[in-house]
Amino acid sequence: MDLTIREIEKACGGALVIQGAAPEEKVTSVVQDSRLVTEGGVFVAAVGERVDGHRYIGQVYEKGAKLVLTQKTPGQVEKEHGVQADRWGSYLVVEEPFQALRALAEYYRSKLRIPIVGITGSVGKTSTKELIAGALSERYCVLKTEGNYNNEIGVPLTLLRIREEHTAAVIEMGISDFGEMHRLSRMVRPNLCVITNIGQCHMETLGSRDGILRAKSEMFDYMAEDGIVCLNGEDDKLSEMTNVRGKRPCFFGLGGNPAEEVYASDIVERGLRGCDARLHIRAGETERCLPLHVPLPGSHMVINAAAAACVALHLGVEPERICEGIRRVSSLPGRANLIWLSHYTLIDDCYNASPAPMRAALDLLSMADAGKVAVLGDMFDLGAESDALHEGIGAYAARKGTDRIFCVGENARHMFEAARRESSPGQQVRYFADRQAFLEALRADREGLIPDGSCVLIKASHGMQFPEIVALLRELDLSGVSGSAE
């Protein structure tokens, strides 16, 4: 990592105390999780919602940390957490560690000379990020956002993972309020900006779809001077953007907008195995057409693949190699991830939820050639329309012919009531007050809820902690348990 202790002091400010290391020594990594500290690394000690990172300072020095960013002095930490002051190595006292982390990432980004793709949007960010990384990997050594590292802590930590071997980076950028994208894009300084769509997430703070568009568009203010903007030409809000900082944006889509430079057509769904399509690339008066296989299930993934092709073309990847890179992409846990088990198949899509991806997930479930079970939980941050939007999903689940609909959570009661009204004879609709109630029901009678051979969709907002449901279903499948009272 091309970053010295002295440079960290310069970027972050604060008071540097050198003990056992030289200021010009390079560090190996920057982390905020004490468990990830390695020899020569930097640990960012911050006070979080549940944990005060300062309590682990003694441990990180034992693991070989070269520097700690701290907002507390050794005396304060000894008094509060019992970590003796004489166990400290070099440290930098800063006013606010996360602010210092952002400043450090911004400085580090200024040293990099590789193209960075910034991705935002209401839904589809993560799958689009994976597809872009896959397409670029045919030519570049790509670093991409991992897990949920798309916020004001995750983005700087991701930037600080870029190393000399990386020749491109793909950074996912998630926001929930005005001003956040400014802070993220100031660090990322994207060479290519991608917006997947403008949906209904975070209506409570952003007010309307126009507010969401305005907040997402803050990314352009810190785009590179020669930056390129790639937008979804099928989105009614994005398609109206004909000028971004004096230049025409590039559009991708499904052929519904003549301005689209890259689009997909002739989509053939292969069920849970993905989709086949034709990829069209327009260049002036000419147009190329190539066969495309998108391995991620659901026809909505095709437009994300078109976004990936649009980006990769602008970064010089040959069209045939783009298609090959997309074909190699695999799904991620929590994001339409298919888990083939002995007794049933899971669609693990429980990373997050809002109305549009909820419907897309139910569309995907409807493709299964098996009994269809939907475990649906609360959708958060939907504002004043929350009740109606939950009702809409419940009704949609019933109309899609879902055999068993299990609604879990306080807001999901509206889903349940609408699903019950719309249900047909033979459909089972049940309500559970919370995740724990559903888990207990599963343990008591798994086969009564989820018969062998079923395909099970599990989807809710991240705060519902539905990965616990996925984990239990894996456990019950492994044990071969049909369900028995404990």
- The pLDDT > 90 percentage for the chain reads 82
Q: Express each pLDDT in 313-352 by its tens digit.
A: 999 999 999 999 999 998 767 777 889 999 999 999 988 8
DSSP secondary structure of 24-54? TPBP--EESSGGG--TT-EEE--B-SS-BGG
Q: Express each pLDDT in 356-400 by its tens digit.
A: 889 989 998 998 889 999 999 999 989 889 999 999 999 999 999
CATH of 112-327, one of 3.40.1190.10, 3.40.50.1820, 1.10.20.10, 3.40.1390.10: 3.40.1190.10
Mean pLDDT of the chain: 93
Check: CB of residue 35 under 8 Å from CB of residue 63.
Answer: no
* E-state strands within 191-244: 192-195, 228-232
Class of domain 337-479: alpha beta
Angle at the Cα of 116 from the Cα atoms of 68 and 325, rounded to 5 degrees: 115
**H-type helices in 424-466, by residue range?**
435-444, 446-449
Please give the average per-residue pLDDT across 10-32, as a whole number: 94
Q: Express each pLDDT in 466-479 by its tens digit.
A: 999 999 999 999 88
pLDDT tier, 41 (very low <50, low <70, confident <90, very high otherwise): very high
DSSP secondary structure of 350-368? -S---HHHHHHHHHHHHT-
Name residue, tokens 């799958």: 127
pLDDT of 484 over the 70 cut: no
Q: How far apart are CA 108 and CA 274, in angstroms?
A: 39
Please give the average per-residue pLDDT across 99-122, as a whole number: 97
Q: Express each pLDDT in 235-280 by its tens digit.
A: 999 999 999 999 999 999 999 999 999 999 999 988 788 899 999 9
Residue 369: predicted pLDDT:
86
Residue 457: predicted pLDDT:
97
Residue 381: predicted pLDDT:
87
Q: How far apart are CA 425 and CA 263, in angstroms?
A: 41
pLDDT tier, 202 (very low <50, low <70, confident <90, very high otherwise): confident
Residue 265: predicted pLDDT:
97
Residue 480: predicted pLDDT:
67
Helix, coil or strand: residue 87: helix
Beta partners for residue 287, in sequence order: 282
Residue 424: predicted pLDDT:
94
Check: CB of residue 101 under 8 Å from CB of residue 69.
Answer: yes
pLDDT of 306 over the 80 cut: yes
Q: What is the CATH number of domain 5-95?
A: 3.40.1390.10
Residue 483: predicted pLDDT:
44
Give the start-to-end residue ranges of the domains of the chain: 5-95, 112-327, 337-479
Q: Express each pLDDT in 132-164 by its tens digit.
A: 999 999 999 999 999 789 999 999 999 999 999
Q: Express each pLDDT in 404-417 by its tens digit.
A: 999 999 999 999 99
CA 231 to each of CA 53, 124, 133, 291: distance values in angstroms, whole numbers, following the listed order = 40, 13, 17, 22
pLDDT of 299 over the 90 cut: no
Residue 485: predicted pLDDT:
32
Please give the average per-residue pLDDT across 54-83, as a whole number: 94
